[in-house]
């Protein structure tokens, strides 16, 4: 048998698929919980990481708005980097801030509440913790004061799954049932962990998964069918990652349109609206 | 046309199961407009040869040839494994040899020679796993792209496809360099190599005729890869090559999808 002869209409079809996909992305008004500025934390293909670069990428990839974190807050000086990020987004209507916190009180402050209220007034809208990399525990004897203050304000709390463990996440969700907890798949994808997170989705209404590296085959469809769409938060991890990774999982998921909108932007916006602002 | 050049039928125990039946996979292919998929079944990879062989044949026969397969070579089983590969490649349902150095044998080890000799003899490509050193997955060190160069040089008539295009930043760089220097080297985009600008970068480094769409289904959702190609800043003809035309050429696919006949 001869090899395939590819008909010319095959190329036309690819162009049409690309056009349709870009159109679906625009319609969904993506709101991104996982944007970054600063410098790459390891060698990356993308070398331009300023806020202005990020805004250009957001235009290019049809992401309307989102929450940005400073990479230096993870690797270097959390407080100074948070401050730099809040200054950079001050006049930008499309970006809000993600704070990286440790259990150390920021310099010049004597209680977490005052610090968080100040940051919220300057557009901070989520908190990221790195217990493993930054060397602290989420248990009350170590992280209690910080977690109590974040919980009182209902600020969404984000962690990479490899910075903690699934039992600690369960304890956190149970201890603070009003605190939205969002887990991201970095650096390892969330693929081999569904026997951990399916019970969490079932048992913890405040447990959420972010999409940029939640890449299991038909995972979106399965999670939405079993637990509803309210647990899934759109995130791209741009410019580490190409946002199309998570965007097409949403645009082309076999779920209803209401669920698609929830995941693309409404779920995260709802969590933000529930924050107790000062 | 769209060809998923790297997927798997079957399942892996570490991952809880959604419906991974052949019918479910076909429905997913239809939903995404995938015309042909190239599978390496879990039965073949994990030592249940007869079951894996039968599954591959069923997948091919029940769907008008839209799912074809790779034979799988495991050098720990030497001649016995080569016999299985030969048996598979007698059927038009099989189009390539898959290797996975993560079984614990470095890709430049002579125990892989048999697969390369057989690929040369039968004029089929080799699809390999490729990655770079990983903090949390140490077996990835067996599959670093630079380790393949000895065989790439020795068998210029055998096309090698680096599955996952080297996996991570340094692996991408080495895989692209090899693709630039050797005409028999290709890269697929399967897996979780999601770096910003990767599609454009690989295409710029090695040419659009060296890059292929692949999903790594049954584990990974192919939409994570397809969207990056459809929306890439590359010409439409380059997208057509990456999405399917390269795979059709390199894997010497013989059948048109049923919808085109």
Strand partners for A93: none
CA distance B222 to B218: 9
Can you give the pLDDT at residue A160? 98
For residues A1 and B224, the model is more confident at B224
Residue B260: pLDDT over 60 = no
Q: Which domains does chain B have, with CATH numbers?
A: 3-260 (3.20.20.140)
Q: Is residue A63 part of a domain?
A: yes
Can you give the pLDDT at residue B13? 87
Mean pLDDT of A87-94: 97
Averaged pLDDT score across all residues of chain A = 95
Residue B259: pLDDT over 80 = no
Can you give the pLDDT at residue B255? 59
Contacts of A238 in chain B (CB under 8 A): 196
Q: Is residue A118 part of a domain?
A: yes
B27: closest chain A residue by CA: A254
CA A212 from chain centre, in angstroms, equals 8
- Structural domains in chain A (count): 1
Q: Is residue A209 part of a domain?
A: yes
Can you give the pLDDT at residue B258? 44
Mean pLDDT of B140-148: 97
CATH number of the domain encompassing residue A110: 3.20.20.140
Confidence of residue A258 (pLDDT cuts 50, 70, 90): very high
Structural domain for A129, as ranges: 20-273
CB B225 within 8 A of CB B244: no
Confidence of residue B20 (pLDDT cuts 50, 70, 90): confident
Can you give the pLDDT at residue A268? 98
Can you give the pLDDT at residue A2? 61
Residue A179: pLDDT over 90 = yes
CB contact under 8 A, B223 and A249: yes
Residue B261: pLDDT over 90 = no
CB contact under 8 A, B254 and A43: no
CA distance A271 to A7: 49
DSSP A100-162: EE-SSPPTT-S-HHHHHHHHHHTTEEEEEE-HHHHT--SSHHHHHHHHHHHHHTT--EEEEGG
Of residues B15, B196, B231, nearest to A192 (C-beta): B15
Residue A1: pLDDT over 80 = no
Burial of A242 per CB tally in 10 Å (0-12, 13-18, 19+): buried
CB contact under 8 A, B231 and A25: yes
Q: Of B83, B64, B62, nearest to B72 (Cα)?
A: B83
Can you give the pLDDT at residue B3? 96
CB B16 within 8 A of CB A194: yes
CB contact under 8 A, A248 and B224: yes
Q: Is residue A31 part of a domain?
A: yes
Whether residue A171 lies within 8 A of chain B, CB to CB, comes out as no
- Residue pLDDT, tens place only, B230-258: 999 999 999 999 999 999 999 999 755 54
- Residue pLDDT, tens place only, B62-113: 988 999 999 999 999 999 999 999 999 999 999 999 999 999 999 999 999 9
Contacts of A63 in chain B (CB under 8 A): none
pLDDT cut 90: percent of chain A above it? 90
Burial of A90 per CB tally in 10 Å (0-12, 13-18, 19+): exposed
- Residue pLDDT, tens place only, A28-87: 999 999 999 998 888 888 888 999 999 999 999 999 999 999 999 999 999 999 999 999
Can you give the pLDDT at residue A152? 98
ipTM score: 0.95
Q: Is residue A1 part of a domain?
A: no
Q: Is residue A162 part of a domain?
A: yes
Q: Is residue A57 part of a domain?
A: yes
Question: How many residue pairs bridge chain A and chain B with CB atoms within 8 Å of each other?
Answer: 158
Confidence of residue A234 (pLDDT cuts 50, 70, 90): very high
Can you give the pLDDT at residue B12? 86
Confidence of residue B197 (pLDDT cuts 50, 70, 90): very high
CA distance A146 to A22: 42
Dihedral angle sign, alpha carbons of residues B207, B209, B213, B214: negative
Lowest mean pLDDT among A155-164, A202-211, B132-141, B241-250: B132-141
CB contact under 8 A, A217 and B217: yes
Q: Is residue A165 part of a domain?
A: yes
Averaged pLDDT score across all residues of chain B = 94
């Amino acid at each position: 048998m001869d090899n395939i002869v590819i008909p010319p209409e095959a190329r036309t079809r690819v162009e049409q698929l690309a056009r349709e996909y870009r159109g679906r992305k625009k319609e969904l008004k993506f709101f991104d919980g996982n944007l970054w500025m600063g410098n790459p934390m390891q060698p990356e293909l993308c070398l331009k990481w300023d806020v202005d670069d990020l805004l250009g990428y957001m235009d290019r990839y049809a992401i309307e708005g989102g929450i940005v974190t400073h990479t230096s807050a993870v690797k270097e000086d959390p407080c100074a980097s948070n401050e730099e990020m809040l200054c950079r987004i001050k006049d930008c209507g499309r970006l809000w801030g993600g704070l990286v916190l440790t259990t150390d009180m920021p310099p010049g402050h004597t209680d977490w509440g005052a610090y968080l209220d100040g940051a919220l007034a300057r557009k901070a809208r989520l908190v990221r913790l790195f217990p493993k990399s930054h060397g602290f525990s989420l248990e009350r004897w170590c992280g209690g004061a910080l977690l109590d203050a974040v919980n009182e304000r209902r600020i969404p709390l984000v962690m990479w799954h490899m910075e903690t463990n699934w039992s600690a996440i369960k304890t956190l969700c149970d201890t603070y049932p009003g605190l939205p907890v969002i887990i991201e798949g970095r650096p390892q994808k969330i693929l081999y962990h569904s026997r951990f997170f399916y019970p969490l989705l079932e048992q913890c209404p405040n447990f959420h998964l972010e999409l940029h590296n939640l890449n299991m085959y038909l995972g979106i469809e399965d999670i939405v069918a079993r637990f509803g769409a309210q647990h899934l938060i759109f995130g791209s991890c741009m410019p580490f990652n190409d946002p199309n990774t998570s965007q097409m999982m949403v645009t082309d998921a076999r779920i209803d349109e209401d669920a698609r909108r929830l995941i693309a932007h409404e779920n995260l916006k709802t969590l933000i609206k529930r924050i107790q602002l000062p | 046309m769209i060809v998923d050049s790297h997927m798997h039928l079957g399942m892996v125990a570490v991952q809880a199961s959604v419906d991974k039946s052949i019918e479910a996979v076909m429905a997913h292919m239809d939903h995404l407009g995938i015309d042909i998929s190239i599978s390496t079944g879990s039965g073949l990879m994990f030592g249940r040869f007869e079951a894996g062989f039968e599954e591959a044949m069923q997948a091919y026969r029940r769907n008008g040839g839209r799912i074809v397969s790779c034979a799988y070579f495991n050098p720990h089983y030497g001649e016995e494994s080569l016999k299985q590969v030969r048996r598979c490649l007698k059927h038009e349902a099989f189009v390539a040899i898959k290797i996975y150095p993560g079984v614990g044998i470095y890709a430049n080890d002579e125990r892989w020679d048999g697969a390369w000799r057989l690929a040369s003899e039968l004029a089929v490509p080799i699809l390999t796993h490729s990655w770079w050193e990983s903090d949390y997955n140490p077996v990835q060190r067996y599959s670093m792209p630079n380790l393949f160069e000895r065989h790439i040089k020795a068998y210029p008539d055998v096309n090698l496809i680096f599955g996952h295009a080297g996996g991570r930043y340094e692996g991408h760089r080495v895989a692209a360099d090899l693709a630039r220097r050797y005409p028999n080297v290709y890269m697929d985009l399967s897996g979780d190599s999601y770096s910003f600008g990767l599609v454009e970068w690989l295409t710029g480094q090695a040419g659009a005729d060296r890059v292929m769409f692949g999903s790594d289904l049954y584990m990974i959702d192919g939409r994570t890869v397809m969207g990056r190609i459809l929306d890439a800043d590359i010409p439409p003809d380059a997208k057509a090559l990456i999405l399917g035309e390269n795979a059709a050429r390199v894997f010497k696919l013989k059948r048109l999808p049923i919808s085109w006949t």
